[in-house]
Each structure stands twice: as structure tokens, then as C-alpha cells.
Structure 1
């Protein structure tokens, strides 16, 4: 299995401490407060709730969506819905995309963001994280729409992973997914801080959503997850307040890093930079109980999420001071 953020048990075993400040996942540290569940939530088989899909389609402005057990479920299933194709995956990006498209007979190529435009001409499928995880890079909406149209003329797909788009959806294509071959993935795990629900959505036309639903089966998303997600997607007051807090915190994190000579990029939920001493920085932070995300391959560097409280901010600033003065 590929390496991801989290894994605090592993960190505790390795470093012998349990007072972790976990900045490794890029999730909203002030996640949505899950409401009380209906009494039968744990006893009934989870039928698909039309009200959940309506809430999702309204929130994401998508004409049609399918609820899935986290976008990871769709990432694993989509490659199985196509005959072997030439698949271009933007690089660096969330590694699960390239991993799963490579397992089902497809000819895969990781392509730098700067070279994607030329690669579209010969691809059957193009996969882009927008904004990108971990670098925060993005492709303008107008460019994505041009790629989608070009791919559709030869039966191709454009798959856009918008898991981190909630804090800035300027370039989102969810509202355009009535177009042929356009697939958009959205997650409630990041902005809403509900990664444990394992719930996400796929926006696309029926010719993609119907076989995807068949492949995932009749009870793909738990009843409790559907209830919590519906409440979150309909809670406009919480969403507005969360946007303000996250934008302020994201600006604060970027400024804190800059004050320590670190030029970073990212979103309101995380910052990333190409750290030359990435392994040393990761170890330095871990020895102070701060768990950050280390990238060793294409996006070699460090990603930091947001501290959950003022004590966390102070711990991070102290550790950065010690890093600069080592």
C-alpha cells in the first residue's frame, strides 16, 4: 500500500511519545460537529438517500452525483470501467491515481503540470488534481474545459480530483459535468474535516455513474455517514464561518513559514515546499511531537496542515525557530 498522512500509531512506536500535534493530513482541524443520529441508523441497511444527493448537488453545483465511500473508492474503480487506454496523470499529485490506473492494463505516464497541454493530444484519459495535492498547483477552468472537449471527441475522459477545492472552487468543473467524459471527484473529508466518514461524491453523466454504481454495489456508503454528510452539506452557516477561519489560518501558516525563510505554496488547508533537507526536517519535527508529511519522490518536500489551536501554533513556531537555529 502507498504511504499517506496520519499513521500516528506508527509515529508513536518509532519516537516513543503520544503527545502528537498531527499536521500530516491537510484536513480542517475544526471539523464539522456530527449531529445525533436517527435511532435506526445502526440497524437498517443503508439505502441511498435522495436528500443527500440533492444536498450534494446543491452544494457542489453539480447536475448529477453519486455518493461513494470516499473518493478513494472511485479512484480504485474508475480504471476498471475502461478498456486499456493511454492514461496521463498529472505529476506530482495524489499517488493513488497513477497507482490504480497502472494496475488494469492501461499505459500510464506521469506528466508534469507544465507539459499536460501537449500530452492531452495523444491521451485517452487525463487525470488532474485541482488544486493539486501536495503542491497546491492548479489548472485554470478554461484550460480544463478545452481538454475535456478535446478528449471527448475521441471517447476519452478527463478526471479531475477536486478533494481540496472547497476553500477556493474558482476552477471547479463540477457544474460542467453534463459534458461527455468529464468526471469530477469531491470529498467531505477535507474541508468538513470528516475523513473518518469515508464519504465522497462523483459528478459525471449517467453513462459513467451507472456502471460505477453497479461496480461499487448496493450498500457502498453507510447510513450514519449519509446522515452526518447531509447535515454538513446543508449547514450554510457553519460553512461560511469555516471558510473565514480557514482562510485566516491558511494565511497565518504561509506567513509563519515565510518568516522562517520558507517559501511555500498550497491552499487554505495546507502548505507545501520543496525542502532540500526533507528527511532531516521531518525527523526534527517528530522529535518534538509534531507529525508532518514527508514526500520523498516526485514532490520531494514537506507538507504542513493547520494547527488546531493556539497551543499548536506555539509548538509549531517554537519547532521552526529551533530548526532555523540548529
Structure 2
């Protein structure tokens, strides 16, 4: 059976190992906007009542306008993780799944737990007619690899010829809308797009995502999730924020991303890739650097399958940039003294 995947965000475990109060830690282990917008006032009824159709439709219409899905209403899901767990239902018997890797590990685990054949591939050229479902994360987590829309549309069209489904995870795509395939879904009934609410808006705790697909595929997810899958407060929050000032959010993320880039460059660290919400550092002693930062109560993300990688998320402000820079300066001085 596939083992559990290590993820970012484990502050409790880090605090237990390295000490310090959780609130004193600087969590850079996730790719989440560290400067979320202010919470809007919510009608008290959303806490009291089951989320009815009206509330769900308000969120879906707001998502349609935000993502640009045309006549297709995005389906609300309790985080894209819930949709990933239902992907095996889209794979036809006798076919294999393919996951463009390295990427988010839960995709492979989902198929493995269902005893379904899955290939980890390194290029789109590795896709064959044996693959009934292909997963591409664009922009990719953790490498930041990006594909232009035309490349993936050509793939979707080719896969349609043998009845294959293309799943494109755009969880980190809100800051680069020009890469999105959402406007293409109406013309391609074998295309499925995942979008995340929590990363861009900095509210991962809400556990909200969207699946954008044609009616037949959306129905598979609807049946798999069951009734009232998304809470009323999450739907109301999404309806409000998706219609709000998202340009300001993008600008704030851009400023924080630039701040992180300056800190990493100032420390002489080499990047293996990035998106506006995180940077991937490549260093032979990535695990040692991770440990050093933890001792300064700064949490980053390491990868068991790539021990030379360290993913660093955005800090919330310039003071935290300086805190990270100071810790990196201490480490670089230590490394220099040992060499």
C-alpha cells in the first residue's frame, strides 16, 4: 500500500522537535499567500443552515466569472485533495494513468491505493495511447515548470482520439492567468481543470477548490462527493472574495515574491525553479540548511525523493524577509568556515 506523503505545514511536529511556540515560527513550508485579504462579514445563517442550492450557485457563478469558464459552472469541492482521490473513477478499465513528474505526490498515491496502473513520466513525449488519463500540474509544484496553453490543448486533442482524459492542476495558476486552460474546457470534453481557492487567497484552512469540466465528468465528482460537500461559510466566503479586489492580491504576492527572490539571491542560493508563491532552491546540503533554519524556528520544505531540493514559501512582510536573510547569512558563514 502506498505510504503517506510528506507535506508542508507541519508546524506542530517542527515545534515539538526544535522547540518554540508554534506562533513564533515562520512557516515557509507551503506555497500559500501569506497576506490574506480581510475576512468579509458573513450572514449568520450560513453557520446555522445546511448549504442550500442558492448558496452553492452564488459561489459557482462567482468562480465562473473569476476563472473565465464561460457557460460551465465550476464545481465546488472541499479542497482539490478531495477531487484527486476521485480521479481513479475516470480511468477506463485496461488503461494506465500517467503523471508528469516530479510533482504533487498525492496523484500517484491516489491511483496506487486503488490498485490502478500508473506511470510517472518526465516529458509529454512519454504519453501513449495506453494512457487513459494524464495529470499535468501547471505551474508545477515543486519545480515551477510551465507549459503554454497551446501545448496542452494539442495534447488534449490527441488524447481525445483514443478516449483519454487530460487533468490539468492549476492550483498555483491564479497569478499567471495567461497560462490557464479554463476558457478551453467548453470545446474539449476530455479536459479537467483543478483550481485552488486557499493558495491565492491565503486561506488554506477553508478547504475549498473547484473542478472545471464538462457535464459528464463533473457528474462523476458530484456523485463521489455526495451532498453538502462544501460548508456554507466556505461558499459564502468564496462568493465574496472571488468578486473582490483580486488585482491588489496579485500585486501583494508579486511584492512578497520579489522580496523572497532578493533574500535568496543575497545568500547566493541557486534556484531550480519558482512560481509567484514559492521558490525551489537547489543545494547539495539542502537537508542541513533545512535543519539550520528549523533551529531558528523557520520551517521550509524538503523532499525525500530529491534531497538536493528545498522549497521556500513567501514571508508576510519585510521584517520576516530580514529574519530569513539573517538566518541564511549565519548558515552561509558556517558553511564557508567549514570549506
String of CA shifts for 1:54-105, please: whole Å, max 9, x gaps.
1101100113210000111100112124334211101110101111022224
Cα 1:94–1:39 shift into 2, 3 Å: same
TM-score (norm 1): 0.95
Partner of 1:309: 317
Partner of 1:160: 168
Instruction: Tell me by how many angstroms 1:9 deviates.
Output: 0.8
String of CA shifts for 1:36-70, please: whole Å, max 9, x gaps.
22121121111242121111011001132100001
Instruction: Tell me by how many angstroms 1:212 deviates.
Output: 1.2
User: What is the 5 A alignment of 1:21-100?
Assistant: 21-48=26-53, 49-63=56-70, 64=72, 65-84=74-93, 85-100=95-110
When structure 1 is superposed on structure 2, of 46-55 and 156-165 the one drifting more is 46-55
User: What is the 5 A alignment of 1:64-213?
Assistant: 64=72, 65-84=74-93, 85-112=95-122, 115-178=123-186, 179-213=188-222
Instruction: Tell me by how many angstroms 1:275 deviates.
Output: 2.3
Partner of 2:284: 276
Correspondence 1:246 to 2:256: no
String of CA shifts for 1:107-148, please: whole Å, max 9, x gaps.
111111xx2223245421110110000111112211100110
String of CA shifts for 1:150-196, please: whole Å, max 9, x gaps.
11111111000000000112221111112121000001111101101
CA distance in 2, matches of 1:41, 1:104: 36
| Partner SS, residue 191 of structure 1 | helix
CA distance in 2, matches of 1:108, 1:308: 38
Instruction: Tell me by how many angstroms 1:298 deviates.
Output: 4.5
Correspondence 1:267 to 2:267: no
**Contact 2:287–2:307 (CA under 8 A) maintained in structure 1:** no
Instruction: Tell me by how many angstroms 1:295 deviates.
Output: 1.2
Instruction: Tell me by how many angstroms 1:219 deviates.
Output: 0.7
Partner of 2:225: 216
Any unmatched runs of 5+ in structure 1?
A: none
CA distance in 2, matches of 1:169, 1:300: 30
**Contact 2:259–2:321 (CA under 8 A) maintained in structure 1:** no
Correspondence 1:233 to 2:238: no
Give RMSD over aligned pairs. 1.4
Partner of 2:17: 14
Any unmatched runs of 5+ in structure 2?
A: 335-339
Aligned length: 322
| Partner SS, residue 42 of structure 1 | helix
CA distance in 2, matches of 1:121, 1:200: 30
CA distance in 1, matches of 2:313, 2:243: 26
| Partner SS, residue 198 of structure 2 | coil
String of CA shifts for 1:2-25, please: whole Å, max 9, x gaps.
111111111110011122000111
**Contact 1:91–1:298 (CA under 8 A) maintained in structure 2:** no
